[in-house]
Chains A and B, each alone.
Chain A
Amino acid sequence: MPTAAPIPTASPAGTAIRLRGVAKTFGKGENAVPALRGVDLDIPAGELTLLVGPSGCGKTTLISILAGLLSRDSGELAVFGRDLGELRRDALAAWRRDNVGFIFQQFNLVPQLSVAENVSVPLVLKGESVGAAVRKAHELLATLGLEGRGKSAPLKLSGGQQQRVAIARALIHDPRLLVCDEPTSALDAELGRRVMTLIRDRSRRPDRAVVVVTHDDRIFHLADSIAHMNDGVVDRISRGEHDSQPHQSL
């Protein structure tokens, strides 16, 4: 299995996620499809990292592995120093619950729950009471410009508002790792920029990291680093211009 040489990154806060020779193949025998062929990558802490590349290059597989949703076949993976491979299924679920925030491409907001209830889910999963979690959700929604919308049904909101609800849900339990899948695909350029700015601002702590899978080149300039994937490997890392100034809120 081909492995690329480690690609060093420069990060003052250190490495949040370290991958060495991570490989994953789906199917067996003649039907085997290698998705990752030995990924070497360091994702810096306190930064926003984009994963880009053509469709089918392994971005989704890679993001699933580093978020603890998928197991690797071989290689090494440490997320904030923790080897996820040594965790059993329930322990892995608990680790995700405590450490990872997700922003899905399709938002996955439950239409039968209110906006605030959707946002409160990670806290409820951590054992907080629904009442307290919903109160915190209302407060967070207010900081994201959704004051007074907590009781609304998610489907009554615009695409941009739904995306902000999804962001609130990903951030409410203050996760160390934020994993985003095409967060701007449904948004216009301006809204996409503002969403990404918000996400990037959240990464600016030494014990945090944000990884975004995207095809949207309109947001490339906001990244601290961009990992270019091709045919199951990271073949290049480019570092963007750092902008540590807080951005205008949404």
Chain B
Amino acid sequence: MTSAHGVAVGVAACAKTFPDGTRALEPITLDVARGETLVFLGPSGCGKTTLLRIIAGLEQPDRGGRVLFNGADVTAIPIERRNVGMVFQSYALFPNMTVAENIGYGLKIRGIDRAERAQRVAELVALTGIEGLEQRRIDQLSGGQRQRVALARAVAARPSVLLLDEPLTALDAALRERLRFELDSLLRMLGITTIYVTHDQAEAMALGDRVVVMRKGAIAQVGTPREIYFVPANRFVAEFVGAANLLTARAVNGVLNLTGGKLVTADVNTAGDVVAMVRPESISVVAPEAASLSGQIERISFVGDRQRLTVRGTIERPLLVDAPNTLNLKIGERIGLAIDPHAVRVLPGERP
């Protein structure tokens, strides 16, 4: 738990129902620590953008909801006076201004004089690596360049919070991955409290200090990327954040009885009918005689850096296993499976 002084942004019981009746958000309560990058992750329609816009001041929460900046209630303050920096999905750069004018606009509004503005713009141009583009018009820029201008413009006036709405979604896959690294180092360098919205789990985990996984207007789990990945709170998070094998079985003294053998879990007290999750990369292929679990290979998918196997007979459903790309395996072959007990995550509260 962060202390009150360390909380840059607080959301208290903010729900949102739109005029046409759509329930976009259930009451959400959340704290964002100063300087951290918090990612809202979820499928489309989960409410992540709505929550971002409520924090920004572009939408009002339903009655009873409050937004706090540094402990002060800003719910009634419109976005113009919240001093946030926002990067929109479409970047929303002003076509009637040059790159330099775009970046300097927030400063112009705040009455900063021309000389100081120019200096700050130059700083940001250097920071985002867009030297030489200052006098260009927006339609002369590539997607990656526009993204950088949008970021520079958002942070120029030193906002207290930076809000990014799917900033990489509009770019093609190769560019996205490259820019993800740059964005990450930039955000660390700036040290601003950042809230980032995305539907891409890889992006979320690469950029976030903590990730808020959302579903149907509510929070499914909040945690660090590792927590979310290795210790998902429920089925939805387990499946959304990475490939997952979900198995239902009866546990006796911490050992699960499966079709294809026995699986030992880390907690010896686990008992009864449970739902457990095991990720494909935590299952090793071994000789069938030596293993407590076995199965038969149904399909092999050579992906390049690994082989994804579909194995039958271990559990009721096909089991996904990631094997090293150098192993010589054949369809129909019987293999043994070894799984580290700590890699088995029993999902609490999930009924089989």
Answer whether A and B are interacting partners. no
Residues of A within 8 A of B (CB): none
Residues of B within 8 A of A (CB): none
